[in-house]
Amino acid sequence: AMVATRASEDRGTPQQVDVAVVGAGFAGLYLLHRLRKAGLSAVGLEEAGDVGGTWYWNRYPGARCDIQTIDYSYTFDPELDKAWTWSEKYATQPEILRYLGFVADRYDLRRDIRFNTKVTEAKWDETAERWLITTSSGAPVSCRHYIMATGCLSAPKPPEIDGVKDFKGEVYFTGRWPHDGVDLAGKRVAVIGTGSSGIQSIPLIAEQAAHLTVFQRTPNFALPAHNGPAPSDRMELFQSDRAAYRAQARQSMAGVPYPQQTAVSWQLSDAERRERFERAWAAGDLVHILSQLWADQAVDLDGNRIVQDLIREKIRAAVNDPETAAALMPDDHPFGAKRPCLETNYYTTYNRPNVSLVNLRQEPIKAITASGISTGKRNFDVDVIVFATGFDAMTGAIRAVHPITGRGGKSLSDVWAQGPQSYLGLTVEGFPNFFMITGPGSPSVLSNMAVSIEQHVDWVVDRLVALRDAGFTTIEPTETAQAGWARHMADCSMLTLHRLANTWYTGANVPGKVQGLMPYTGGVGPYRSICDEVVSRGMLGFKLS
């Protein structure tokens, strides 16, 4: 392995490493740790000023994970697992950021990371069999392998509305929240967007603001978090046999250890269904309610509609004003086909006298003006606009590095012109030694991402080691394998309800983005088995040289 050299002031002389890792979030940190242990030199390139990724950028009020934190953790080192105890069932952003900082310290990872360094271009040099990575500051990087750990939800979507620049007040994005916080006391605040970030922040913003106006295009299903101490039944399971608990998560559908349900909705009586639903509702757990009601809830519309009705009933009961309640009830997508949210006081926030909801289905935003937001029907004068409008998910951060040039001068954006193509969501034909962590085509956002990230990183680093030990220098999927994966992805998605919703899973939230379901819907456990089978069958679908 070559010795990593520190970025020199000389921007012309590339830093030479075996592997360049872009991103220092959950994925990038674990990659750097594994690569070092494997004796491969690596540099982390990170746009932010420190580690954390998602948890560095998303500092808005109420930012938390929505997978229980005992599950949303690294599991690669049992000692690390024991060295850290989460204070809550769903940890806040500051606590998760502290955890990632703790991990960076424990394994001394920061010394290999160049912060405030954005990767702008990447080019495969066919003769040298190396990638040349261009950065916004410091030396470029020459590396054998180029790994994008750039995150699925890291490229905030730019506002689609005219006039943002004309607005005289303050503008914030939940995904780029100021580190010193924002004082909203006594201010008239507008929040645009009711996805996860909106639903988490709205109740807290409402407590501070003089008045809060929420602009909603699509209502989401939101379930109570019932946050507090980690629930004792889950903790007992976890602590009685941590290794078995983690192993079950890895083989599960969503990366959280729950059994597969076998009873279908029509085998259960109304009373039994209601009992199951109320139990799930009280558990305050996304994966529980997404997977533990009945076997057909995510694959059959009839089984799904029963869940939808039960949730809408809850919304109706929580919100005093019937018109507001009706506007908050999702009716355009199956439950789970779009990422549901976890909420704390979200629906009841609309019962406050200082909160109002604008239904953009009835009066779309026409423009942002100097003084606020105009829908054409009404003008809303505000002091602050908060964009909680989400991300260019899964492909946004990858495509933002432009161009990524592979063999024969082909650019990734051309290859992906009709939507992302990949083998296993990890690699792309024509782009040797290029890897994506939780890329489009992998379970990614349909899973507990801590589990998916560890699986991807382990698989990639193990492959790089095997490649090196066998004396190969390049790895690349075949065209046939990539086409086969697309076919398999499509087959799997025909079995679930995800295809029936236009969401950020399909690119529908970004104007002009090619439409198609991006994550693999076959489940975390089956996906892991496939990746393992590829290896055990002699790197099936890959060309090595």
Chain positions contacting ligand FAD, by CB under 6 A: 22-28, 45-48, 53-54, 56, 58, 63, 65-67, 72, 118-119, 149-154, 197, 397, 400-401, 437-438, 448-450, 453
Whose Cβ is closer to ligand FAD: residue 152's or residue 182's? Answer: 152
Q: Residue 107: enclosing H or E segment and its boundaries?
A: none
Whose Cβ is closer to ligand FAD: residue 19's or residue 48's? Answer: 48
Residues 6+ apart with CB under 8 A from 311: 221, 223, 335
Q: How far is the CB of 60 from ligand FAD (least distance, A)?
A: 8
Whose Cβ is closer to ligand FAD: residue 199's or residue 467's? Answer: 199
Give dist(CA 406, CA 92) in Å, integer: 40
Q: How far is the CB of 57 from ligand FAD (least distance, A)?
A: 7
Whose Cβ is closer to ligand FAD: residue 365's or residue 412's? Answer: 412
Question: Within a 10 A sphere around the Cβ of 232, how many other Cβ atoms?
Answer: 8
Whose Cβ is closer to ligand FAD: residue 121's or residue 207's? Answer: 121
Q: How far is the CB of 163 from ligand FAD (least distance, A)?
A: 26
Give dist(CA 166, CA 384) in Å, integer: 13
Q: How far is the CB of 392 from ligand FAD (least distance, A)?
A: 11
The DSSP annotation for 1-45 comes to -PPP-PPPS-SSSPEEEEEEEE--SHHHHHHHHHHHHTT--EEEE
Whose Cβ is closer to ligand FAD: residue 67's or residue 310's? Answer: 67
Q: From its phi and psi, is residue 207 left (phi > 0), alpha (psi between -120 and 50) or beta?
A: alpha
Q: How far is the CB of 380 from ligand FAD (least distance, A)?
A: 26
Whose Cβ is closer to ligand FAD: residue 198's or residue 372's? Answer: 198
Residues of the chain by 3-state class (helix, strand, coil), percent to 5: 35, 15, 45
Q: How far is the CB of 237 from ligand FAD (least distance, A)?
A: 19
Specify the pairing of strand 42-45 against strand 170-173: unpaired
Whose Cβ is closer to ligand FAD: residue 306's or residue 461's? Answer: 461
Q: How far is the CB of 20 from ligand FAD (least distance, A)?
A: 10
Residue with tokens 């492909």: 395
Both tokens of residue 527? 């996906």
Whose Cβ is closer to ligand FAD: residue 436's or residue 481's? Answer: 436
Q: How far is the CB of 431 from ligand FAD (least distance, A)?
A: 16
Q: How far is the CB of 414 from ligand FAD (least distance, A)?
A: 19
Give dist(CA 374, CA 321) in Å, integer: 24
Give dist(CA 60, CA 30) in Å, integer: 25
Whose Cβ is closer to ligand FAD: residue 139's or residue 368's? Answer: 139
Q: Residue 430: enclosing H or E segment and its boundaries?
A: none
The DSSP annotation for 150-215 comes to --SS-SBPPP-STTGGG--SEEEEGGG--TT----TT-EEEEE--SHHHHHHHHHHHHHSSEEEEE
Q: How far is the CB of 451 from ligand FAD (least distance, A)?
A: 8
Q: How far is the CB of 24 from ligand FAD (least distance, A)?
A: 6
Whose Cβ is closer to ligand FAD: residue 138's or residue 219's? Answer: 138
Give dist(CA 336, CA 503) in Å, integer: 11
Q: What is the dihedral of CA 344, 346, 347, 350, to 10 degrees?
A: 140
Whether 312 and 333 have beta carbons less than 8 Å apart is answered as no
Q: How far is the CB of 421 from ligand FAD (least distance, A)?
A: 20
Whose Cβ is closer to ligand FAD: residue 89's or residue 513's? Answer: 89
For the stretch 350-353, contacts whose Cβ atoms lie closer than 8 Å and that sit 24 or more positions apart, written own/partner, are 350/214, 350/319, 350/320, 350/321, 350/324, 350/325, 351/319, 351/320, 351/321, 352/206
Residues 6+ apart with CB under 8 A from 269: none
Whether 434 and 131 have beta carbons less than 8 Å apart is answered as yes
Q: How far is CA 28 from CA 25, 53, 104, 453, in A?
A: 5, 9, 10, 9
